[in-house]
Amino acid sequence: MTPVEAHTEGNGAAPAAAGAPMLELRSIDVNYGRVRALRGVSLTVNEGEIVALIGSNGAGKTTTLRTISGLNRPSRGEVRLRGVPIHQLGAERIARMGVAHAPEGRRLFPRMTVRENLEMGAYARTDRAGVRESFERVFTLFPRLKERTSQLAGSLSGGEQQMVAIGRAYMSNPQILLLDEPSLGLAPILVDTIFEVIREINARGGTILLIEQNALLALKTASRGYVLETGNIALSGPAQDLLTSPDVQRAYLGM
Amino acid sequence: MNRLLRAFFRPTQKITATGVYTILVIAAAAMVLLGWFLPWFVGPFSEGVGFSPQDAISTAPTGIGTILLYVTGVCMLIVLLSPFVEFTLRARHRALDVRWDMVRAAASVVGLVLTVVVWILVRWINEEPLFGALPNGITTDSAVWLEMYGFGLAAITYGLKRLVLERPNVMFVVGVLPFGVLLPLMFHQAPAFVLWATQSLAIYMLLGLGLNVVVGFAGLLDLGYAAFFAIGGYACASLASPIHGVHISLWMLIFIGAAIAATFGAILGAPTLRLRGDYLAIVTLGFGEIIPDLATNNVFGLTGGPNGISGIDKPVVGSVNFGFNPQWFYWSLLFFSVVVVIMLLNMQRARIGRAWVALREDEVAAAATGINTTTTKLLAFAIGASVSGLAGAFYGAIVSIVSPDDFQFAVSIAVLSIIVLGGIGNISGVILGAFVLTFVIFWALPNLQEWSATLGHTFNVPAISGIDFTRYTFILYGAALIIMMLFRPAGLLPSRARKVELESGIESESLAAVQGRA
Ligand SMILES: Nc1ncnc2c1ncn2[C@@H]1O[C@H](COP(=O)(O)OP(=O)(O)OP(=O)(O)O)[C@@H](O)[C@H]1O
Ligand SMILES: [Mg+2]
């Protein structure tokens, strides 16, 4: 690698040097009927950073992501994308504005092929050249998918499905990528692969909000983190600090 | 992009290719067989056998006709039986490798040529002109036409098997479309059959194509589709009959009817947007019940109450008044069906088609990829309904009267059966399903009585003539449906999605619901 390349790359990636706020949640409340799943959740994701959102089962992580991408409506508070309020918009509008959501449980289109699933990710795009480029990028990120382009998504292994889910989200050339438990149910080696890809996407300038049960891995990957406890943000800060915080270590790292 | 599209459709073609091949083989065999035996089946049974070309020739003094006849019969047997022979030989002697397809193709060509020769001979012996009906030939023309078409189709299917497997859709059209176009001529001696093809087959085919958009493409189970048929039918009837003194031409009305039905499709679709599967089915069922009831109650004085609207105008084109001869209706419907099929095929391949499939597969994921689920669903309802509006406009013009009875629940169910039987989501499957089901419901079952009477009379077995089939019609209908679904659970020509589902157990939420209900 020539020094010049290293220099430009260093400029582009610089995960620690956070850019302008990409996504902001301000005092979000979300109710399911009479059950309040989120109360006063505020969080910020800056351009070019990976932010981890950790918490135990039922803490409201998935609800937070669904609220951002418009699948749930907040009863109070606002969501802003680059300063523009989006919490009143429909899911498809939000998706078109550049929020890509790889949902919990992957939710692929099971009877479409891998290629068709990826194409659906680019559904809202009209720049054909860009789409073709994104295809190539996805296949470089996940070489395994290239061999399986015409296999039906429903017949893929869990790990491959997760790759398609991330690839599909990535195909929309998003401003921000929302990943809901990408490591769920995967063997350790596959988890490593997936997280490498997440870092790779970030190194190319991608902004990512990551939900994880695997708090250690998430915090090691992210630059900042939030800890959600029964609908409240209990802790937040640089990932390093959270990793060393005794509360987090006890509750989420099993130390 | 072209490559993308091709990649998108390759798997579909692979699966339907053998399906189309099988269908063509079966259709050819059925026509050859039916042509041979048609004189026994149609026509007043008191006359029995006696009008077939076989008899005409075997009574000819030369005797050459008899020989030709036997050779034709042998050709028929080769075409019909060789697949079984091939199958048994394959199993036992692997070495015995005959090029069976070529044998069958050759036999078909010989059969075709001989049938034509026989045809000319019959005319010559009877001192008749080459074209036009024989004086005493009630079904002769149809029989010979069927025989010729069957042999021709067999020759193409077997002789060009490679082509059929490579371009199944093109070959399906090549094989079936001429039959569709020629049908009124082939059966000009059996006007009831042409009427069936117009009023039952063509209308139900359109209805099937429309409902397939909603149920097959978008995965929204609609049990009240007849409501839109009724809306189209009544709208056009009231604009082309003495009831309100308005007389608009049918050619305008089909668009008006389609537009009105589409509007109602969207209106009735709107409240169901949040419903899925079983719930959606129940609500649409409600619509299907309400609309004919409104018509019965003469809503706003528009619908003529229980007697409906009668005296609907017959269309006129130039000097041709369509009148009560169905053949012009038939050709017009055929034309519009082709237009509709082309439009739907294009939609299926376009962005909206993908959006429908995504919606059917996973609504949440579809929304998350930027699909507007509301407009996508409403478009499915509106486009599906517009096709039934077109059908409704024609239906009124053909039968001259629309009444609430024409749009009952049974119609919705028959249309749904057509698409399930033919292959949900696959347009060729729906066409085939319409053919098979309307043949069973509206032709075979009503005629069963007469056929059995003829059969019993011919072979002098009074027990056969004595069966009263009218009492068993619905049992037979049900049994036919069950048998067909047992043998081809994914439909006659399954769409890729259904096929995959049954083979690998991949299933999506919404379609699971469709299956459960359908
Ligand atoms: N559709 C729903 N209706 C009612 N309650 C819901 C619904 N979805 C989630 N909840 C409740 O909201 C709370 C937060 O759920 P959420 O799915 O966001 O948790 P999570 O942090 O993603 O958990 P996990 O790690 O187990 O996925 C839970 O108590 C859950 O029971
Ligand atoms: Mg969750």
A103 Cβ inside 6 Å of ligand 1: no
The ipTM estimated for the assembled molecules is 0.85
Helix axes B203-211, B427-438, angle to 10 degrees: 140
Whole-number Å distance between alpha carbons of A152 and A111 = 6
Interchain contact, B367 vs A95, CB within 8 Å: yes
Q: Give the model's pLDDT for residue B12.
A: 45
Alpha-carbon distance A243 to nearest alpha carbon in chain B (angstroms): 32
Select from B233, B238, B286, B243 the least CA-distant residue to B406.
B233
Kindly list the distances between the CA atom of residue B422 and the CA atoms of B35, B37, B66, B179, B209, in Å, as whole numbers in the listed order: 25, 27, 41, 19, 11
Lowest mean pLDDT among B87-101, B242-256, B317-331, B346-360: B87-101
Given CB atoms, is A173 within the 8 Å cutoff of chain B? Answer: no
Where does the pLDDT of residue B156 fall: very low under 50, low under 70, confident under 90, or very high at 90 and above?
very high
Given CB atoms, is B509 within the 8 Å cutoff of chain A? Answer: no
Residue B300: burial class (beta carbons within 10 Å; 0-12, 13-18, 19+): exposed
A231 Cβ inside 6 Å of ligand 1: no
Nearest-CA residue of chain B relative to A94?
B370
Report the atom number in ligand 1 closest to the C-alpha of A56.
Answer: 25
Question: Both tokens of residue A33?
Answer: 């009927």
Which span out of A189-193, B56-60, B142-146 was modeled with the highest average pLDDT? A189-193
Lowest mean pLDDT among A21-30, A120-129, A246-255: A246-255
Whether the Cβ atoms of residue B508 and residue A106 lie closer than 8 Å to each other: no
A183-197 pLDDT, tens digit each:
888 888 899 999 999
Contacting residues of B for A107, CB less than 8 Å apart: 362, 364-365, 368
- Residue A166: enclosing H or E segment and its boundaries? helix A158-170
Helices (H), ranges, B42-139: 53-58, 64-92, 100-125
Q: Give the model's pLDDT for residue B93.
A: 63
Question: Both tokens of residue A17?
Answer: 């040097």
Best probe residue, ligand 1, of A38, A63, A72, A229 (max atoms within 8 Å of C-beta): A63
A208-240 pLDDT, tens digit each:
999 988 889 999 999 999 999 999 999 999 999
Where does the pLDDT of residue B402 fall: very low under 50, low under 70, confident under 90, or very high at 90 and above?
very high
Strand A224-229 relative to strand A207-212, pairing:
unpaired
Q: Give the model's pLDDT for residue B502.
A: 58
Tell me the average pLDDT across A167-184. 93
Given CB atoms, is B22 within the 8 Å cutoff of chain A? Answer: no
Give SS3 for A23: strand
In 10 A of CB A88, how many CB atoms? 12
In this predicted structure, the answer to whether residue B399 has a pLDDT above a threshold of 50 is yes
Q: Which of residues 364-393 of B touch A (CB under 8 A)?
A: 364-374
Which span out of A117-121, B140-144, B486-490 was modeled with the highest average pLDDT? A117-121
Helix axes B2-41, A114-121, angle to 10 degrees: 120
Give SS3 for A237: strand
Nearest ligand to the CA of A39 is: 1
Alpha-carbon distance A122 to nearest alpha carbon in chain B (angstroms): 8
Which span out of B2-6, B395-399, B450-454, B479-483 was modeled with the highest average pLDDT? B395-399
pTM of structure: 0.83
A215 Cβ inside 6 Å of ligand 1: no
Whether the Cβ atoms of residue B392 and residue B261 lie closer than 8 Å to each other: yes
Where does the pLDDT of residue A168 fall: very low under 50, low under 70, confident under 90, or very high at 90 and above?
very high
Question: Both tokens of residue B409?
Answer: 């629940």
Where does the pLDDT of residue A1 fall: very low under 50, low under 70, confident under 90, or very high at 90 and above?
very low
A185 CA to centre of ligand 1 in angstroms: 18
Question: Both tokens of residue B348?
Answer: 């299926």
Given CB atoms, is B355 within the 8 Å cutoff of chain A? Answer: yes
Q: What does the CA dihedral B138, B139, B142, B145 come to, rounded to 10 degrees?
A: -100
Q: Strand (E) positions, B307-362?
A: 316-317, 320-321
B471-485 pLDDT, tens digit each:
777 787 888 788 877
In this predicted structure, the answer to whether residue B135 has a pLDDT above a threshold of 80 is no
Tell me the average pLDDT across B255-260. 95
Amino acid, single-letter form, for residue B169:
N
Q: Which of residues 111-130 of A touch B (CB under 8 A)?
A: 111-113, 115-116, 119-121, 123-124, 128
Q: In what order do the strands lie in the sheet with A76-81?
A: A35-46, A21-32, A76-81, A84-85
Please state the domain extents for chain B: 15-189, 191-518
- Point out the residue among B1, B369, B374 whose CB comes nearest to the CB of A120: B369
Nearest ligand to the CA of A230 is: 1
Where does the pLDDT of residue A18 fall: very low under 50, low under 70, confident under 90, or very high at 90 and above?
low
Alpha-carbon distance A42 to nearest alpha carbon in chain B (angstroms): 22
A53 Cβ inside 6 Å of ligand 1: no
In 10 A of CB B59, how many CB atoms? 11
Whole-number Å distance between alpha carbons of B268 and B143 = 47
Q: Give the model's pLDDT for residue A74.
A: 95
A60 Cβ inside 6 Å of ligand 1: yes
Whether the Cβ atoms of residue A109 and residue B361 lie closer than 8 Å to each other: yes
Given CB atoms, is B497 within the 8 Å cutoff of chain A? Answer: yes
Whether the Cβ atoms of residue B117 and residue B161 lie closer than 8 Å to each other: no
Select from B212, B233, B230, B214 the least CA-distant residue to B433.
B212
A61 CA to centre of ligand 2 in angstroms: 6
In this predicted structure, the answer to whether residue B26 has a pLDDT above a threshold of 70 is yes
Question: Both tokens of residue A51?
Answer: 């932010």
Domain boundaries B191-518, corresponding CATH code: 1.10.3470
